[in-house]
Amino acid sequence: MSLKIILIILIACPLALTGRKWTYNGLDGEHDWPTNYPFCGGAFQSPIDFQTHLLRYDPNLPPIQVQNYNLSTSEQLTLGNNGHSVQLSLPSHMYISSLPHRYSAAQLHFHWGSSNLLTGSEHTVNGKQFAGEMHVVHFNSDKYPNVSMAVDKHDGLAVLGVFIEIGEANPAFDKLFRFISGVKYRDQKIQVPAFNIRALLPDRLDQYYRYDGSLTTPPCYPSVLWTVFRKPVTISRKQFLALATALYASFAQDSPSMPLHENYRKSQLPDNRVVLVSFREGLHGILSVASPFHRRQVVQKLLVGDLADLADEGLYQLLPKLSLHTDTDKKLKRPKKQRHWSQATQKHQWSKNNVPSDNGYSSSVGKNIPTPWYMGALETGKGMCFVSLEEQVIHQLERYQAKGLMVEALREVVFPELNLRSYLHCRSDLDLQTIRQLIQGRSRDEAAELEQSLTKAMLRQMRRQIKRRRNPNIKTTMGHPQATVPKDYNLELAYHRPQHVEWED
């Protein structure tokens, strides 16, 4: 079988892949997901731990507004057991109205622990895991006709995450949990009367975490805009046990039956992402996010500006987590006339590089000039389809001359554009790998000088972290102790790890 056919099967035919067996533990568990689902080992994966040092306050985040969530009891919904979770279908006339596009509802489902383990949420807050988590999955109905068409697009999905903790009983969940006995086994489905879905959400929809991530089940496409509400909802222990003990992951005819519990994915790497938050109370000294305009200026400087200026003065713009001192080592500077671009020169350079000017988007004159990789992020109207990455992955595999590095090649293709998109939307910092991609066409000396400055800055930051590890009482700018640094921490991997690049059931 040719390499191209293999990749078509693995990447271009996700429907075939979704039929492959996968579990959360044991054989075919999440450790083995990347073997059949390359994106599961890739970039921008979910869930993550909302650690305080990742948070950035964004005052422009509006309260979440949902429409048509109060469904009529005369409407029928499908409740099913897919072997991984219990899932409730939702009508597409339910939608989120507070995002740039209209995101229509598709389904909701749950992740939970077990009767012996009352912790089963996928996202966590500073390591705290809640009893469970509900996901309400929406698709971009402005651009795609249904969730199946949207699932592999970079702007295809928006998921509302709700933490669940044990506490007071919640009557709204009884409208769903009382029917669970009808879907005890895999692939069983029943019709249930609709109800007010809004009652399943927290009272306050204005406090939440926001970041770019992925489906938390195979094929793990990094296509989700996550909104996870800060305040959990409560259910009683009896309600939790009704969910955690009544279901089986196996078919009715299977023996022995396999309980359906502990169906949550472990936390994934942050991948240099930040988490935007719409609240400030309770978070001491939280940093505010840089504006999108400021970030576009940084990208412009990387593409056409003077890299020596960035090496001297702009490191905090590229990697905001690095708090540089004013006594930063001075770098060799270019003559002043070479370090400053006139407006005419900048306009000419923007045109040459086919990147947007301040007044709009410039177009390439030469029809045979290939579109730069970063145009997918800079042109907001251009969609990114993960299936369409097949040709780029093939190119990378041919370069490696090895089939076994598919995940690494996929990540190397996907990560820079994902990181740049997320950076421009204020949901990540720039990764060194992305910076290298942006400046690869620049002067070798300037590029080397900038990377050397970045490396030195990271070394200084790492030394400070080591000192804080020895003295944990030292506070960071976030007002919380800095995470400890393992003894075997590799500085070279801090921003350039080996590149192992849901469909929520």
User: What's the pLDDT tens digit per position in 351-388?
Assistant: 444 444 333 333 333 345 556 777 767 765 566 777 66
Decide: helix, strand or coil at residue 37.
coil
Residue 33 pLDDT greater than 90, yes or no: yes
Decide: helix, strand or coil at residue 134.
strand
Are 247 and 179 within 8 A, CB to CB?
no
**C-alpha to C-alpha distances, 365 to 279, 359, 368, 370, nearest whole angstrom:** 46, 18, 9, 11
Show the tokens assigned to 179: 């029917």
Backbone φ and ψ for 61, nearest 5 degrees, come out as -75, 120
Going across the sheet that includes 128-129, the strands are 49-50, 124-125, 128-129
Residue 406 pLDDT greater than 90, yes or no: no
pLDDT bin (cut points 50, 70, 90) of residue 347 is very low
315 vs 74, higher pLDDT: 74
The one-letter amino acid code at 456 reads: K
Contacts of 14 (CB under 8 A, 6+ apart): 151, 152, 219, 221, 387, 503
Q: Which helix (H) or strand (E) holds 456?
A: helix 444-470
Per mean pLDDT, which range of 32-41, 179-188, 417-426, 472-481 is the poorest?
472-481
Residue 341 pLDDT greater than 80, yes or no: no
Give Rg (Cα) of the chain. Answer: 24
Show the tokens assigned to 491: 């500085």
CATH 3.40.50.12160 assigned to domain 3-287? The reply is no
Residue where the block lists tokens 């576009």 = 296
Average of per-residue pLDDT across 325-329: 34
User: What's the pLDDT tens digit per position in 86-121?
Assistant: 999 999 999 999 999 999 999 999 999 999 999 999
Per mean pLDDT, which range of 37-46, 185-194, 211-220, 404-413 is the poorest?
404-413
String of DSSP letters for 191-233: EEE--BGGGGS-S--S-EEEEEE--SSTT--S-EEEEEESSPE
What integer pLDDT is reported at residue 178 of this predicted model? 95
Are 492 and 433 within 8 A, CB to CB?
no
Q: Where are the domains of the chain?
A: 3-287, 291-493
What integer pLDDT is reported at residue 391 of this predicted model? 53
User: What's the pLDDT tens digit per position in 260-299?
Assistant: 999 999 999 999 899 999 998 777 767 888 888 888 988 8
Show the tokens assigned to 17: 């892949």
What integer pLDDT is reported at residue 313 of this predicted model? 58
What's the pTM value of the predicted model, to 2 decimals? 0.79
Residue 256: cis peptide before it, omega within 30 degrees of 0: yes
Strands 157-166 and 132-140: antiparallel
Are 286 and 55 within 8 A, CB to CB?
yes
425 is catalytic: no
Which member of 53, 84, 101, 123 is catalytic? 84
255 vs 209, higher pLDDT: 209
